[in-house]
Amino acid sequence: MPSISDLQLEHIPIATAEFGHDPLPYFAAARSRHDWLAASDIGYVLTRYRAIDDIMRLDDKLKMPGEEILDIMGAHGTGWGDFCVEQMLVSSGERHARLRGSVSKAFGPGSVKGLRPLMRETVSGILDEWAPKGAFDFTDFAAQFPVRVMFALLGTSVERLPAIIKDLEIHGESFNLEVENMPVIEAGYQRLWSFVDGLVEERGRDGGSGDLLDTMIAANSAGTITDKELRQLLILMFAAGYDTTKNLLILLMRSLLDNPEVYRRAGEDFDYAKKVVKEQLRFATPSNTMRIVTEPFEYLGVEIPRGTMLVFPLTLSGRDPAMFGNPDGFDPERPEKHPTQAFGRGMHICLGQFLAVANVEEGIHLIAQRIRNPRLAGDVTWKPFPGVWGITSLPIEFDAVLGDLKAPR
C-alpha cells in the first residue's frame, strides 16, 4: 500500500494571496490528479467532503498543532505561546472535557434561543447608526455585530469595544503564522489578558446575574478551572466568536450581492432567511483547520504515517461536486441535506455554532430590511486561506430604510 508521501499529488499554493482570492480552481486541478488529496507547503490537503468527514472524527489519532506553532513563531515563554499550547482547542482527554464542560451549557440551543431578542436589539441599534450612511465597507459594519452580542452575553459594557477590537483582529491574524509579527501579536495578547482580567476582577465572586461570566467564575471558584484557564477561556470566547461570525456574515453578503432576489426574500421571511444562512454554510465559510497525525492509519488504500500534517479546508468542502449538484450555484432550496462542515467534526466541534448561526440568521433578516438593493462599490479583497479565511474589504452602496420595517417577531 502506498504511503501518502509516495503519491503524485498536485501542489497547491495554499498560503498565497492568489489562492486566498480564488481557491476553487486549485481544488478542481488537485482533484483531477488525485481524488481526495493535494500537497501544499503547510501539509496534505483533503480535497473532498467525505474524506474530511471520515478523517476529522479520528480524534484519538490526531492532535491540533501546538508546540509546532511555538517553534515556528519562536513564541516559547510568551503569553500568546502559552495560549497556543494550553487553550481548549489544543487540549484533549480529561482536560478538554473539564474545560468544555465548564462553559458548554451556556452555548446549547436552549440558551441561544433566549439570546435572540438581544441579537435583534443589537443589530437594530447598529443599523440605526450605519444605515443612514448609504454606503460603507460591509466588513466595518460586520465587525460591530457578533462581538457586541458576546459583550452582552458576558454582561460587559459595549463602550469597551474599541479598546479590544484591534487586538481581536491581531489575534485572529496571529494564526497566519507570520514570524515578524510576533512582537505585535504578544503585545495584543497582553492587552486582551488585561482586559479579561479586569472583567473578572470587576465582576467579583457573588455570581449575581448568573450569566456566562458568572458561570465561568463559579467554575473557577469551585476549583474546576484555574485562574489562568479562566482568562484563557475568556480570550478564546472573544477570539473564536469574533473573526469567524463576522466573516460568515461578510461572506453571506458577498453571495447575496450576486443574488438580489434571495437577499430581498431573506428580509421578508425569517424562515427563508434561515435557509439562506444554511446554504451559505455550504457555499463558503470562515474556518479552516489542521491536525498532526499521532497514530498512523490507513484511508482508502493510502497509509498516513505519524507526524503527517493534514489540512482540512472546511470553508469550501461544501463545493465538492461529488456531494452537491451545481455546487457553485447559491440555492437555499437545494435538495441535498449533507450537514455543513463549517464547524468541524469530532470532539472539538464548534462550541459556539448555535450562537453563530442564530446571530447571522437574525442579522441578515434585519440587514436585508434596512439596507436595500446593495451593490458592490469597489474591489473585494481576501484574507490568506489557512486559518480564518474571508473578505477584508467589501465596499457597498445601497438604498437606506430608516427604522425597522416589521414589528419584532
**CA 92 – CA 199 distance, rounded (Å):** 27
Single-letter residue type at 241: G
Between 115 and 396, whose beta carbon lies closer to ligand HEM?
A: 115
Class of residue 218 by CB neighbours under 10 A (exposed 0-12, middle 13-18, buried 19+): middle
CB of 354 to ligand HEM, least distance (A): 9
Sign of the CA dihedral with 66 first, then 72, 76, and 80 last: negative
Query: Rounded distance, CA 66 to CA 345, Å?
Result: 19
Cα distance between residue 391 and residue 193, in whole Å: 27
The distance of closest approach from Cβ of residue 338 to ligand HEM in the complex, given in angstroms and rounded to an integer, is 16
**Residue whose CB is less far from ligand HEM, 47 or 353:** 353
Positions that interact with ligand HEM (CB under 6 A): 64, 88-89, 100, 236-237, 240-241, 244-245, 248, 285-287, 289, 314, 342-344, 348, 350-352, 355-356
**Shortest separation between residue 64's beta carbon and ligand HEM, angstroms:** 6
Residue 310 dihedral angles phi and psi, to the nearest 5°: -115, 140
> How far apart are CB 368 and ligand HEM at their closest, in Å?
18
Select 98 or 100, whichever has its Cβ closest to ligand HEM: 100
- The cell numbers describing 137, all together, are 465597507
Minimum CB–partner distance for residue 240 and ligand HEM (Å):
3
Minimum Å gap between C-beta 145 and ligand HEM is 11
* Residue nearer to ligand HEM on the CB measure, 217 or 240: 240
CB of 273 to ligand HEM, least distance (A): 16
CB–CB of 49/317 below 8 Å?
yes
Rounded Cα gap, residues 63 and 293, in angstroms: 7
Cβ nearer to ligand HEM, comparing 147 with 185: 147
Task: Tell me how far, at minimum, the Cβ of 252 lies from ligand HEM, in Å.
Answer: 10
Residue 100 cell numbers, joined = 468544555
Q: What angle do CA 23, 301, 346 make, to 5 degrees?
A: 60
Residue 382's identity, in one-letter code, is W
When the beta carbons of 131 and 216 are compared against ligand HEM, the nearer one is 216
Can you spell out the DSSP letters for 260-298?
HHHHHHHHH-HHHHHHHHHHHHHH--SB-EEEEESS-EE
What is the Rg, in whole angstroms, of the alpha carbon atoms belonging to the chain? 21
Give me the phi and psi of 370, to 5 degrees please: -105, -25
Q: Using an 8 Å Cβ cutoff, are 360 and 122 in contact?
A: no
Q: Which of 407, 364, 101, 129 is nearest to 248 (CA)?
A: 364
Nearer to ligand HEM, 244 or 369 (CB): 244
Shorter beta-carbon distance to ligand HEM: residue 228 or 372: 228
Q: First vs last Cα of the chain: how many Å apart?
A: 59
Which residue has the CB atom at the shortest distance from ligand HEM?
Answer: 352
Q: Phi and psi of 115, rounded to 5°?
A: -90, -10
3 state SS of 108: coil
Per the document, the length of the chain is: 409
Residue among 357 and 396 whose Cβ is closer to ligand HEM: 357
Q: Which is nearer to ligand HEM, 75 or 252 (CB)?
A: 252
Residue 347: CB minimum distance to ligand HEM, A: 6
